[in-house]
Amino acid sequence: MDLPGGWQGDAKSAFTEQGLTSDEKDMLHYTQLLGKYRQSSSAITKGKLMQYLPNDGLYVYFRYSNDQTVMCVMNISSENKEVNFSNFLERTAGYKGGKDIIGGSSVTSQFNVPAQTFKLIKLTK
């Protein structure tokens, strides 16, 4: 299958979004959002990694630096899951919540992760 790129003769362009389906545009915007956040995040670009053993369909890991802590949560199950900071106190102590980088909303120390979803949370004190 042709990779949409935007080169001469391509029917689709990932550069101009010409010919992309709505799903392809959504994926392009999602990838751009994560790429832009990665560039500006000291925790992701220069930080350390701490991960927890997967449990009940949830895989949680943290990227952290002196300036920032980012919590990454993957829910691979077919059910919504509740995440509580108290289960990850080694990295969440002193934090009251955070910002969902992908969705843009604020989260508290206890939040829901829908089935088959990834959340990227910048923790706040």
Domains of the chain (ranges, CATH numbers): 1-40 (no CATH), 42-124 (2.60.40.1180)
Predicted confidence at residue 23, as pLDDT, reads: 93
Predicted confidence at residue 18, as pLDDT, reads: 83
CA–CA separation, 39 and 107 (whole Å):
23
Predicted confidence at residue 2, as pLDDT, reads: 58
Provide the pLDDT confidence category of residue 17 given band limits of 50, 70 and 90: confident
Predicted confidence at residue 1, as pLDDT, reads: 59
CB 29 within 8 A of CB 21: no
CA–CA separation, 118 and 92 (whole Å):
18
Q: What is the pLDDT of residues 43-102, one digit of tens each?
A: 999 999 999 999 999 999 999 999 999 999 999 999 999 999 999 999 999 999 999 999
Predicted confidence at residue 4, as pLDDT, reads: 59
On average, the pLDDT of the chain sits at 92
Indicate the DSSP class of residue 47.
Answer: -
**For residue 4, how many other CB atoms are within 10 A of its CB?**
19
pLDDT of 9 above 80: no
Residue 57 structure tokens: 């369909």
